[in-house]
Amino acid sequence: MTVAALTELFLMNMGYARADAAEPDVVAEYAGTLMRWLNEGYTRAVLRTLGREAVKCLDPLRAEEDEPVKLDASLHPLLADYAAARGQELRGNTSEAGGLYAAFERGLSEAVQDRAFAFRAWRRL
């Protein structure tokens, strides 16, 4: 997913309708912090799934067409969950933020478990 697609998913997690996500003023409201939140989530996800060495050579997301290439595509939506959790937290919506943080952590946990299972299967051969 590109940053543009993650932005749309983020806005939907924040409670906006799909039509609102296309409005420039809605996107501009979060322009200052959204990229930072996406990169925080990206760094955390890479650290959990690939380790510290992968984080050292991580290129941050900067533009609308950038993609979090270090992560498997199935994990990309988790970055929007993380960013929306940060946004909901700032709004004071702790229950929504908690649910989004939990979705982020659960998705990463499942990815790490799947990867560990695959490695154990190869060792048995």
> pLDDT, tens digit, for every residue of 72-112?
999 999 999 999 999 999 999 999 999 999 999 999 999 98
Locate 78 and state its tokens.
Answer: 């988790």
Taking the whole predicted model, whether its pTM rises above 0.75 is answered as: yes
**First and final C-alpha spacing in the chain:** 35
**Residue 61: DSSP 8-state:** P
pLDDT in tens, 45-82: 999 999 999 999 999 999 999 999 999 999 999 999 99
- Listed by start position, the domains of the chain span 3-124
Closest CA to 44 of 99, 112, 113: 112
Q: In whole angstroms, what is the distance from residue 64 CA to residue 113 CA?
A: 31
pLDDT in tens, 12-45: 999 999 888 778 898 898 988 999 999 999 999 9
